């Protein structure tokens, strides 16, 4: 039987999503874009019809393709913020 060590796991220090909860990601996106802007970026019902953090989290946890879009938009937002700081 082999044991797993830190060297067996893929490195995460360069992964900006590592350690972030889905709630933190949705909250940051909502603060940056607002619900209307978030609904334009990712046109899904939980962002466009009576949006809330809780309803969004419930949907995104059950829907992998939507979660991928949210994570991708979050990474895009981080890149844009870094460019704006230069």
CATH of the domain at 41: 1.10.720.30
Residue 49 is assigned to a structural domain of this protein: yes
Residue 72 CA to residue 86 CA, distance in Å, equals 22
Q: What is the pLDDT of residue 67?
A: 96
- Sequential pLDDT tens for the chain (86 residues): 555 545 555 667 788 888 899 999 999 999 999 999 999 999 999 999 999 999 999 999 999 999 999 999 999 999 999 999 98
Domain that holds residue 37: 33-85
**pTM for the structure as a whole:** 0.81
Residue 3 is assigned to a structural domain of this protein: no
Residue 59 CA to residue 21 CA, distance in Å, equals 15
Residue 77 is assigned to a structural domain of this protein: yes
Q: DSSP assignment of 21-60, as one string? A: -HHHHHHHHHHHHHHHHHHHHS--HHHHSS--HHHHHHHH
CA 31 to chain centre: 13
């Amino acid at each position: 039987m082999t044991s797993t060590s830190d060297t067996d796991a893929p490195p995460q220090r360069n992964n900006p999503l590592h350690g972030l909860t889905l709630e933190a990601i949705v909250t940051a996106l909502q603060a940056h874009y607002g619900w209307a802007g978030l609904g334009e970026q990712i046109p899904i019902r939980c962002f466009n019809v009576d949006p809330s953090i809780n309803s969004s989290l419930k949907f995104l946890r059950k829907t992998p393709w939507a979660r991928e879009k949210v994570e991708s938009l979050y990474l895009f937002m981080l890149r844009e913020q870094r460019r704006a700081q230069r």
